[in-house]
Structure formats: C-alpha cells, structure tokens
Amino acid sequence: MKIGIDKIGFYTPNKYVDMVDLAMARNVDPNKYLKGIGQEKMSVADISQDAVSMAINATKQYLPKIDIDKVGLLIVGTESSVDESKSASLFVKSALKLKASVRTFEIKEACFGLTAAIFTAYDYISTHADKTAIVIGSDIARYGLNTAGEVTQGAGSISLLIKKDPAMLSINPQTSAYSKDINDFWRPTGSATALVDGKYSTQVYLDFFEYTFKNYQKQNHVDISNFKALLYHLPFTKMGLKANNLAIANLAERDAKKLTNEFKNSIELSKQVGNIYTGSLYLGLLSLLVHAELKLNDLIGLFSYGSGAMAEFFTFNIEAGYRNEIIDPYLILNRRKRLTVAEYEKIFTESLQAPIDGQSLVSDEQAGMWYFAGTKNHIRQYCEKSR
C-alpha cells in the first residue's frame, strides 16, 4: 500500500525584515547575510502569532478540500510550545472542529519533530487505511537581537495530510537514523530564546548528514545518481548548500549539476522566510514542488536534523497528481509587510513576554486567519479574524 503526502499547507506571519536592512543596522556587510548565510528576508511573528495559531492557519489552507470526519490522528511537532502540559494539538483540533475520536498529541525533538510525526502517521495509516492523519510542524526561531543567530531567525508552519494512495508524494519506509546526546542548540525551560554553540552546530549537522546519507545508500543499494533531488533541513540556506556540496563532491559533472539545480529550486522559499525549525525541511520540499519540473516516481532524498541531536535520511517518490495539489505559497509570502529594523526590534521584544492575563490582543492579519488573543484566567484564547 502506498502511504504519503496528499496535501501541503503553509503559513508564515504577515511581517518580515529585509536582510540588507538588518545588515546595515548591525554594521555588517550585506553580502555576509545574503551570500555568507544565504538569506534575503526573515518572517517576524508578533505577539498575536504562536505555534498554535500558525498551525491552524497552515492547515486551514487545505481543510475545505478534505473529509474531516476521516481524520483519525493529529500531531503537532514543535519546539516553540505554548504550554508545559497541554498539547498544542488540542487547541488546533478545536479550531479545526475535528471529531472527538481523534488521537492527538504534541511531539518534540527540536527540528526533527515533524519528521517524527510523519513516520508516526505512516505507521498509523498502515493499520488504519480508511483514516487520514494531519501532521504539523510549527515554530518561531528566536535567538535574540544582536546575536550571531539573529540572521537565522524566522517563523512559520507546514501542515501535511498523510493518507493511503496520496496525490503528491509516497513515503518509503526504509530510513537511516542516527542520534547522539550533544549540546549544539537547546532552549532551557522558561527561556524565550534559544542557546546555541553556533559553529559546533554547523559541524555536527554536516557529520550527521554524511553518516546517515552514506548509510542509507549502503543499506538500500541506492546510488546518488538515482536521486532527482536532495533536500536538507534549512536553518539557513548556506547550511544546506554545505551539505549539498559534500553530497556531490565526487560526482560526475552531469549528476552534480542536476542536484545543484534542484537544490536551488528547494531553497527559494526558505531564503524569503528564514528558519521555521520543524517545518524547514518541508518548506524546502514545497519549494522544490513549486519550482522544479518533476515526474512520476522521481526519487527525492530528505535529510532531517534536530539539534540535541537526532537525524534521519529517507526518501519520497513523486506521485502523478502533485502539481494539481499545490497551493501557491507566494499568496502567503507576498501579503507580508516590510518592517523597519526599529519596528522589528519593538515587535520582537514585546513578543518575548507573555501578555498580561485578561488583556485582549488584536491582530492585523487578513480576515479568516487565526491568532492568539491573549489569556483569560491563564487559559490561552485563539480567535479567527472576523470577515
């Protein structure tokens, strides 16, 4: 039985900072951010957007096209959790009006969370073929103003519908996993921003990639020339480029060129959004689907990396109907407003604190989008912007 991705929804907040503006404000050569890091814009979440509201907005993109009574599993992968106990997915389930019989929970392993959710959904569908699963990655990447990581922030969500006989991509169950208890990036409880050993994190990412990729090829008798495209977790696009350069190092020119072209197609959206942690790899997948010319059964390799650290290399095959199912991500991107650096700093600082209990938050989002409206008796409130 084929199991895989049938729909993809994407959301990013309605504001961004331009990397040239940020570079000027930080007294840095803009080419460091544009070329050295490989980012052009970075989405900024104000206090009224969080992991829950972004997850709802991403899923709402395809919700009218699916039978919600068939949804049997809903998982939210996030490292920007809004509660230490209650899952983000319960707020999402309520907003989406899913049935009470849905199994739902939150899952965490840094940026690996959505990949963990996808393979959990794969196992679920293999024993519940008449059901579907919604899996979501939703995060706000925050390192802090004037930090080295500042240029690698971002915010957004990717939502996937997993089912049998999928229209877009089928998932292959063979994978190559690797984990090790290390301290490259983490966020202590109570801290709104992440802590990171930046240079070390980039080195272990590459080490984990080399190990899982080689292992996958060896165990599954797959040669790199069999891949139409290789996709990478994209904390910033230069990170993916470094992994891609390792992958193609000993390849014939024709194969190297093919993989490099498809890599370029896969980073178009991330360059405009920044790091969305759990969703980053799948934002790269959406970018490839939008920009590349793909055909039935094309083999796509994916490298998922979550700091701490857990990595896995696995593959999808393109399904015939993928193009008809694409929901144009540029409709979401092009509605964003450009912030001045001063506006971004104010919004960033404000969003680090929880709002005063009882204070209602307003949103400048489009009608129909969901937002975090503040807390009442310390209970989070989510609202749909009225039409």
Among 78, 307, 315, 351, binds ligand CAA (CB under 6 A): 307
138 in contact with ligand CAA (CB under 6 A):
no
**Positions of E strands within the chain:** 3-11, 15-18, 41-43, 71-77, 103-107, 132-141, 154-164, 169-179, 185-186, 195-196, 229-232, 299-306, 310-318, 337-338, 370-376, 379-384
**151 binds ligand CAA, rule: CB under 6 A:** yes
Residues 46-105 that bind ligand CAA (CB under 6 A): none
Site string for ligand CAA, 104-123 (x = CB under 6 A): -------x------------
Which of 178, 198, 251, 345: binder of ligand CAA (CB under 6 A)? 198
Which of 328, 343, 270 shows the shortest CA–CA distance to 40?
270
**CB of 234: closest distance to ligand CAA in angstroms?**
8
Interface characters, 166-185, with ligand CAA (x: CB under 6 A): ------------------xx
233 binds ligand CAA (CB under 6 A): yes
Q: How far is the CB of 29 from ligand CAA (least distance, A)?
A: 4
Whether 242 has a binding-site annotation, put simply, is: yes
Catalytic residues: 79, 111, 233
Tell me 111's DSSP state: B
The CB-of-196 to ligand CAA minimum distance in angstroms stands at 5
Instruction: Pick the closer one to ligand CAA by CB: 239 or 373.
Output: 239
What dihedral angle (degrees, nearest 10) is formed by the CA atoms of 186, 189, 192, 198?
Answer: -10
* Nearest residue (CB) to ligand CAA, 28 versus 347: 28
Q: CA-CA distance, 315 to 169, in Å (whole number)?
A: 10
Nearer to ligand CAA, 301 or 306 (CB): 306
Rounded-to-integer distance, Cα 35 and Cα 61, Å:
32
Q: Is 334 annotated as a binding residue?
A: no
- The answer to whether 4 and 170 have CB atoms below 8 angstroms apart is yes
Residue 382: beta bridge partners? 372
Instruction: Tell me the β-bridge partners of 155.
Output: 140
Q: Does 313 bind ligand CAA (CB under 6 A)?
A: no
Q: Backbone phi, then psi, for 142, in 5-degree steps?
A: -130, 120
Site string for ligand CAA, 5-44 (x = CB under 6 A): ------------------------x-xx--xxx-------
- The whole-angstrom separation of Cα 360 and Cα 382 is 11
